[in-house]
A and B are shown apart, each in its own frame.
Chain A
């Protein structure tokens, strides 16, 4: 009797062990695929160009060097550009995160006649590629006198019409729709108005979508070159500096065209300089980020 039971347990244990093994393998594989470009960028950015062609060096350079960064510093003026990025991209991302939250909440928790239509229009803004209306938008901004000013980024963000705002409204709406109605009713019975209910009851429970939306919004503003190039041509940011780095290098450093290894190293150094602030924020927020996924479920 007891032998049979233990036998049964071992088989189950074996299955569990196998599953854990397979799971680990899959995660390792996918993790490697996803990390690959990042590892490449970092190791290339900090190695001397001649080691890029060295068959002995695959991942870890023989010597680590900051020379690439120093060379590129002239083209990507980090302190100045970083300030621009914070002023424009970070500010827009914060505005967008906040306002989209309001709109998503309005579409999720209230009943009014034209709600369905408005929601359909929000979806329409996701669907129509922003590239389609770029020139028209450009003319619009020029007419409003906000072209080449940060307002060309702030105003759309403030009105939840910035980069991929539709998607963010959608995410918030799906989240708030799943919140229990009892919470809201309790707040109303206690005499809270809709704004109080939103601020005191709903928002504290919505850290998960807020953090997710903020991270995405920030990254998409930070790494964007298309809208920066169109609407903010006069103000250089890290992403636009990185985009023009290659051509700037070939103009300013004669003979570099013939040396693809140096170009690669310099370009990757530029990438490191552009993404390290985002990376730093992600590493700092990473705990809240992964925890927030955990907390999306309000009631367990």
Chain B
């Protein structure tokens, strides 16, 4: 009896086709990602002088990196700010997106309109448009007006929470979360979309069965909805983290781009962005370790 099961021809053929499907990406991956990345690493280990003839590199070992951690007065501070913002924002963004997605998933009159409006700014205002709006003094003034209003409402909320006898730490947490709603709502478009797609893919028979068994809404959410959207949740987490780190207004991004173009100090900027990338990767690796195992893929 042959205990070793040899792969079936079909499986081998499928493996071949799988590689074929991925091949286009691999073809571009080498020249457009790997080679530039290797170059960037080499720059980060050099001192760079640019002249009319081109760029001259002078290897200096780890000096750029040492400068980064030992001499740069801002880098570590900026780095911890970036991580702090990320840890605060990502949970808020995710829970807000799930909440809005669940609202949009319900049946009500004007739902299509609500969806169209909620995704509209995501579609329209990115890149240069948001840049123009942020540099338009009048627009900024007008937007601060909106923020000012929500700030007023926020203090009212804080007062109510205080009078309810809540601890000030909890009150502060809630009010700072409310104050961020304006910023948060802007960063949620893609995530709302992902979650809405995820919610739609849950068979209604699951909920019907749960209702027959007498499950409450709360139980339905944690026992059906949440496990079923874990695959998109993972996508959402990855996207939110990366977005928070590579957001243009992020100080480190600004710092690593600006010196590169202003003083042609590209070697130093390379070192900075590489360190930063590695840290982002560590965070994502942890996320995959913690969350990845709990993701349920339903075999249907």
Residue numbers of A with Cβ under 8 A of B are 20, 23, 26-27, 30-31, 33-38, 40-41, 44, 52, 99, 102-103, 105-107, 109-113, 115, 118, 121-129, 131-137, 139-140, 144, 155-156, 158-161, 165, 167, 169-171, 174-175, 177-178, 180-182, 188, 193-195, 198, 208-209, 212, 215-216, 219-220, 222-225, 239, 242-243, 246, 260-261, 264, 267-268, 270-271, 274-275, 278-279, 282, 286-287, 289-290, 293-300
Contacts and interface: CB of A to CB of B under 8 A. Distances in A.
A224 B128 CA distance: 6
B161 interface: no
Contact of B29 (A102, A121, A261, A300): A121
B35 A300 contact: no
B206 to A, nearest CB: 10
B142 A103 contact: no
B174 interface: no
Contacts of B204: 300
A62 to B, nearest CB: 17
A34 B201 contact: no
Given A23-B106, A132-B274, A290-B115, A170 B238 contact: yes
B27 A278 contact: no
B118 interface: yes
A46 to B, nearest CB: 15
A147 B30 CA distance: 17
B170 interface: no
Contact of B127 (A37, A131, A224): A224
A161 B33 contact: yes
B67 interface: no
Nearest to A20: B108
A296 B128 contact: no
Contacts of A40: 133, 139, 142-143
B64 to A, nearest CB: 14
Contacts, number: 293
Contact of B231 (A177, A222, A294): A177
Given A106-B20, A282-B123, A44 B197 contact: no
Interface in B263-300: 266, 270, 273-274, 276-277, 280-281, 284, 297-300
Given A37-B125, A260-B137, A158 B28 contact: yes
Contact of A160 (B25, B31, B126, B274): B25
Contact of A296 (B21, B32, B55, B197): B197
A297 B25 contact: no
Interface residues of B, number: 103
B200 A295 contact: yes
B21 A223 contact: no
Contact of A298 (B16, B114, B181, B201): B201
A106 B277 contact: no
Contact of B100 (A20, A30, A174, A261): A30
A275 B129 contact: yes
Given A36-B143, A111-B15, A127 B277 contact: yes
Interface in B117-150: 117-121, 123-133, 135-139, 142-143, 146
A223 B27 contact: no
A232 to B, nearest CB: 14
Interface string B228-258: 0001101100110010011000000100110
Given A125-B33, A131-B273, A171 B24 contact: no
A290 B197 CA distance: 10
Contact of A106 (B18, B198, B257, B266): B18
Given A37-B139, A102-B21, A296-B201, A290 B112 contact: yes
A18 B104 CA distance: 17
A118 B127 contact: no
Contact of A182 (B24, B181, B300): B300
B10 interface: yes
Interface string B86-100: 000000000000001
Contacts of B262: none
